[in-house]
């Protein structure tokens, strides 16, 4: 029996560990500040021409002119903000589009719509190719970031010849709209796309950030209609983070605990007369990086006042568009995802009272995250796999293919906005989806290697390396996810506070709220105020346009290396470094405060028989999926035998280049008459079970092949296929290794016996022979 003294001792240990990490954080922050100040000083001006009175005068003229251009750009931003607000805000898509299906006309209206993207001049789209459906995040901003520029997710898909559809949403939600209504509307969007392309493969879903878990919910609730899924920077496991002693942690995951849970979002929505202002979410993003929000982006505009305004205004059009949610929507998100972390647990119910089970997804899943993302770190993007699947064996047994791709340094927005990322990662993802369904079930890492082309254009090579789930989880979670335990206390406290708010405070808040008050609060939100206050609505700034026009006519710019410009940049760097130092100290203290409160809460009040430690790994042979697979080692027919042979003769432990996947697809089409008529998911599921059997009991697996092929015609057919494939020039050119050749010989010898070995087990199934893991003939061209 645990005593109060032992709990207090454990609390002291927790406090000591928190203090150790805090001290390391502070030390790293101070070192970074010292380094940046030293480097800035080294870049300072040197005595010489330019520091004389004439140089000072020239700099004063240049700085004054840049100041006017700077404020004129903010004036243009404010006017665009006002005009867009009057027009109701529109998607920031770079491409022309047309509405295919308006969610506001559905039986359960939602403020979503499905657009068809029109290909730009010079781009040809093949309606028989796999269509893409892109879902943008609804996290405060408006839609369109996935097609924000030519080099974007939309652009690379169009240039690949694919029809592209885009899911947008309007500023104001429909009355009574819920997230489950949105999910059902998106199901109808997918069905509409399939109806428009009946001769193509199932549409690929691309989900960005919040749109990622929306795509996963859609695929889990309607697995028969969706093709491969790509989720970019999607926080699927909200409690996870990158807790390390040296580098700063991801502070956003602590916000729910330090704010006391979900009640604040509910109160904010009540004050908004039943609508939650997305500007609050955007403000949270702004607070993550005060150096950029308060100084860097504005100084960059001032520094490059002649060339930067166009890019600044283009991005501000999206960043400054704030959308609304119903109270029911933001409460559903905060309770089930941000704080509750319930999606992967199967605790989130769909409209028909069925739980969203991510294991029901039948299509391959691609996870794209970045090490430089402090909003959705890789742990949040990948850990849900370990939460949903108990082991690598379960992934294989369920026939699932999961591919992970990690960028080393791009930030959260860069995952969707960066042109370089679009031309490299997103373009290669499009090429991967052409053949990814040929991957055997399992968990893979995707690597992209860049090579210089003959004309200077980059050339990319893609390969896949299979991994064990257990190894990946251990690699990306230094503390074995023990740091997630306090979030259980956050969820419990949040439920208590939410209920208390609903009982005691909500009636008074709702009684005070009304639409004029809600509109006033929205208009005077700091993010909106900073836009419209510097616009034509402010008569004191009416002189700016004419002054800017005069400056452009008589512009006298200083050279970038002018001593005064260099001094200016040094000053800017010192301000930026100071704000980054403030952020590091703030995040360190936030983390320390969170664990001091909630880790102690868990330690003091958790059940006595519960331990804060990672579960011991289960032996492979004891996994239920392995036991179930081995129980069927002599059950099946041609399909099972073919899948088993495919694994036995495959390469083991080597990276799988994309070219080899494409070769597999070519061979499947060449020898289609020898392949069973099953769907890709059915093939992967059988392939996964047979791989488990062959890995666990290779000798028994080989010996049981004659039992599976008790029909002489089946055995002859498989041997013919084996002979043709091994003699194919394309296979010979890939240089089969000695182990593969030896295995082919063993299988031939085993199946070459005149009479099949008898077994006490009954052969349960035989599959008609036609083609394997391939769509009908009219769908081949779509690949």
pTM of the predicted protein model: 0.90
What's the pLDDT tens digit per position in 684-741?
Answer: 999 999 999 999 999 999 999 999 999 989 999 999 998 898 888 888 777 788 888 8
What pLDDT is attached to residue 611?
41
- 26-40, 178-192, 758-772: the lowest-pLDDT one: 758-772
What pLDDT is attached to residue 482?
83
Residue 275 has phi, psi (to 5 degrees) of -125, 135
Q: Could you tell me the pLDDT band of residue 456, with boundaries at 50, 70 and 90?
A: low
Q: What's the token pair of residue 134? A: 């892109």
Q: Is the dihedral of CA 258, 262, 266, 272 positive or negative?
A: positive
What is the rounded CA–CA span in Å between residue 499 and residue 147? 41
- Residue spans of the domains in the chain: they are 97-243+326-481, 621-780
Q: What's the token pair of residue 563? A: 């001593």
What is the rounded CA–CA span in Å between residue 367 and residue 232? 6
What pLDDT is attached to residue 479?
76
What is the rounded CA–CA span in Å between residue 428 and residue 676? 30
| 349 or 496, greater pLDDT | 496
Residue 754, pLDDT above cutoff 60: no
What is the rounded CA–CA span in Å between residue 152 and residue 413? 12
Residue 546, pLDDT above cutoff 70: yes
Half-sphere exposure (Cβ direction) of 351: Cα atoms closer than 13 Å: 14
Half-sphere exposure (Cβ direction) of 543: Cα atoms closer than 13 Å: 3
What pLDDT is attached to residue 307?
95
Residue 765, pLDDT above cutoff 50: no
- How many C-beta atoms surround the C-beta of residue 424 within 10 A? 18
Q: Give residues with Cβ within 8 angstroms of 74, minimum separation 6.
A: 534
Three-state DSSP state, 782: coil
Give me the chain's average pLDDT, please: 87
What are the distances in angstroms from CA 367 to CA 351, 364, 390?
27, 10, 18
What pLDDT is attached to residue 248?
55
Q: 652 and 739 in contact (C-beta within 8 Å)?
A: yes
What's the pLDDT tens digit per position in 214-254?
Answer: 999 999 988 999 999 999 999 888 888 765 554 556 788 89
What pLDDT is attached to residue 2?
63
Measuring CA to CA, which residue among 259, 480, 286, 285 is closest to residue 379?
A: 480
- Residue whose tokens read 């100071």: 578
Q: Could you tell me the pLDDT band of residue 622, with boundaries at 50, 70 and 90?
A: confident
Environment class of 192 (CB within 10 Å of its CB; exposed 0-12, middle 13-18, buried 19+): middle
Measuring CA to CA, which residue among 675, 690, 678 is closest to residue 636?
A: 690
Helix ranges (DSSP H) in 443-562 = 469-476, 486-500, 506-512, 515-523, 526-532, 544-553
DSSP line for 140-158 = SS-S-GGGSSSSSHHHHHH
pLDDT winner (highest mean) among 43-57, 470-484, 749-763: 470-484
Q: Could you tell me the pLDDT band of residue 457, with boundaries at 50, 70 and 90?
A: confident
| 453 or 570, greater pLDDT | 570
What's the pLDDT tens digit per position in 417-430?
Answer: 888 888 888 888 98
Q: Is 389 left (phi over 0), alpha (psi -120 to 50) or beta?
A: beta
The CATH class of 97-243+326-481 is alpha beta
3-state secondary structure 204-251: EEEEECHHHHHHHHHHHHCCCCCCCEEEECCCCCCCCCCCCCCCCCCH
What's the pLDDT tens digit per position in 156-184?
Answer: 999 999 999 999 999 999 999 999 999 99
Q: 603 and 6 in contact (C-beta within 8 Å)?
A: no
Residue 93, pLDDT above cutoff 80: yes
Measuring CA to CA, which residue among 313, 268, 780, 773 is closest to residue 510?
A: 268
What pLDDT is attached to residue 433?
84
Q: What's the token pair of residue 187? A: 């199901």
Residue 767, pLDDT above cutoff 50: no
Residue 350, pLDDT above cutoff 80: no
Residue 99, pLDDT above cutoff 90: yes
Q: What percent of the chain has pLDDT over 90?
A: 62
What's the pLDDT tens digit per position in 726-735?
Answer: 888 888 777 7
């Amino acid at each position: 029996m645990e005593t109060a003294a032992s709990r207090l001792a454990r609390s002291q240990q927790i406090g000591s560990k928190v203090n150790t990490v805090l001290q390391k954080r502070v030390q790293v922050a101070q070192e970074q500040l010292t380094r940046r100040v030293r480097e800035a000083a080294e870049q300072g001006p040197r005595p010489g021409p330019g520091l004389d009175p004439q140089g000072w005068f020239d700099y004063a003229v240049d700085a004054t002119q840049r100041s006017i251009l700077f404020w004129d750009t903010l004036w243009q931003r404010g006017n665009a903000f006002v005009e867009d607000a009057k027009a109701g805000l529109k998607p920031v898509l770079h491409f022309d589009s047309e509405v295919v299906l308006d969610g506001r006309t559905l039986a359960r209206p939602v403020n979503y719509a499905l657009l068809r993207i029109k290909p730009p001049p010079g781009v040809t789209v093949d309606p028989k190719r796999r269509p893409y459906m892109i879902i943008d995040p609804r996290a405060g901003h408006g839609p369109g970031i996935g097609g924000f520029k030519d080099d974007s997710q939309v652009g690379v898909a169009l240039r690949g010849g694919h029809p592209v559809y885009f899911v947008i949403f309007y500023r104001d939600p429909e009355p009574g709209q819920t997230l489950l209504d949105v999910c059902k509307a998106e199901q109808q969007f997918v069905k509409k796309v399939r109806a428009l392309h009946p001769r193509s493969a199932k549409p690929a879903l691309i989900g960005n950030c919040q749109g990622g878990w929306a795509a996963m919910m859609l695929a889990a609730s309607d697995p028969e209609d969706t093709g491969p899924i790509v989720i970019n920077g999607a926080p699927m496991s909200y409690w996870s983070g990158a807790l390390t002693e040296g580098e700063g942690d991801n502070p956003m995951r602590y916000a729910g605990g330090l704010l006391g849970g979900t009640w604040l979002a509910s109160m904010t929505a009540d004050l908004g007369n039943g609508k939650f202002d997305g500007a609050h979410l955007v403000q949270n993003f702004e607070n993550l990086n005060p150096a950029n929000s308060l100084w860097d982006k504005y100084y960059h505009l001032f520094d490059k006042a002649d060339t930067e305004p166009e890019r600044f205004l283009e991005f501000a059009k999206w960043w400054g568009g704030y959308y609304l949610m119903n109270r029911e929507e933001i409460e559903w998100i905060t309770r089930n995802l941000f704080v509750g972390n319930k999606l992967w647990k199967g605790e989130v119910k769909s409209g028909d009272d069925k739980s969203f089970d991510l294991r029901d997804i039948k299509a391959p899943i691609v996870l794209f995250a970045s090490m430089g993302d402090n909003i959705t770190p890789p742990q949040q993007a990948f850990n849900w796999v370990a939460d949903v699947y108990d082991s690598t064996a379960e992934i294989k047994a369920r026939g699932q293919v999961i591919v992970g791709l990690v960028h080393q340094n791009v930030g959260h927005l860069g995952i969707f906005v960066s042109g370089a990322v679009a031309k490299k990662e997103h373009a290669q993802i499009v090429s991967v989806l052409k053949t990814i369904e040929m991957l055997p079930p399992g968990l893979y890492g995707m690597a992209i290697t860049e090579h210089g082309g003959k004309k200077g254009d980059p050339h990319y090579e893609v390969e896949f390396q299979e991994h064990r789930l257990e190894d990946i989880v251990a690699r990306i979670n230094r503390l074995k996810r023990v740091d997630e335990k306090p979030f259980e206390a956050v969820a419990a406290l949040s439920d208590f506070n939410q209920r208390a708010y609903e009982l005691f405070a909500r009636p008074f808040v709702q009684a005070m709220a009304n639409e004029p008050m809600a509109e006033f609060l929205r208009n005077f939100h700091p993010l909106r105020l900073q836009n419209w206050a510097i616009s034509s609505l402010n008569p004191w700034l009416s002189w700016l346009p004419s002054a800017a026009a005069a400056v452009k006519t008589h512009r006298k710019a200083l050279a970038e290396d002018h001593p005064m410009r260099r001094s200016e940049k040094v000053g800017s760097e010192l301000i930026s470094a100071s704000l980054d130092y403030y952020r590091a100290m703030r995040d360190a203290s936030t983390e320390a405060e969170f664990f001091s409160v909630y880790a102690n809460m868990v330690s003091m009040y958790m059940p006595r028989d519960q331990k804060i430690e990672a579960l011991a790994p289960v032996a492979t042979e004891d996994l239920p999926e392995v036991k179930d697979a081995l129980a069927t080692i002599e059950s099946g027919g041609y399909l099972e035998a073919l899948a088993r042979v495919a694994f036995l003769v495959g390469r083991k432990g080597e990276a799988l280049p994309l070219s080899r996947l494409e070769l597999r697809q070519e061979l499947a089409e060449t020898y289609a008459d020898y392949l069973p008529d099953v769907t890709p998911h059915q093939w992967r599921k059988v392939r996964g079970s047979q791989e488990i059997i062959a890995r666990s009991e290779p000798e028994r697996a080989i010996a049981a092949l004659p039992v599976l092929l008790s029909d002489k015609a089946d055995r002859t057919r498989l041997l013919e296929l084996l002979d043709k494939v091994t003699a194919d020039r394309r296979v010979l050119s890939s240089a089969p290794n000695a182990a593969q050749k030896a295995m082919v010989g063993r299988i031939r010898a085993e199946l070459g016996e005149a009479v099949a070995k008898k077994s006490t087990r009954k052969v349960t199934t035989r599959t008609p022979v036609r083609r394997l893991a391939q769509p009908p003939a009219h769908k081949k061209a779509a690949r």
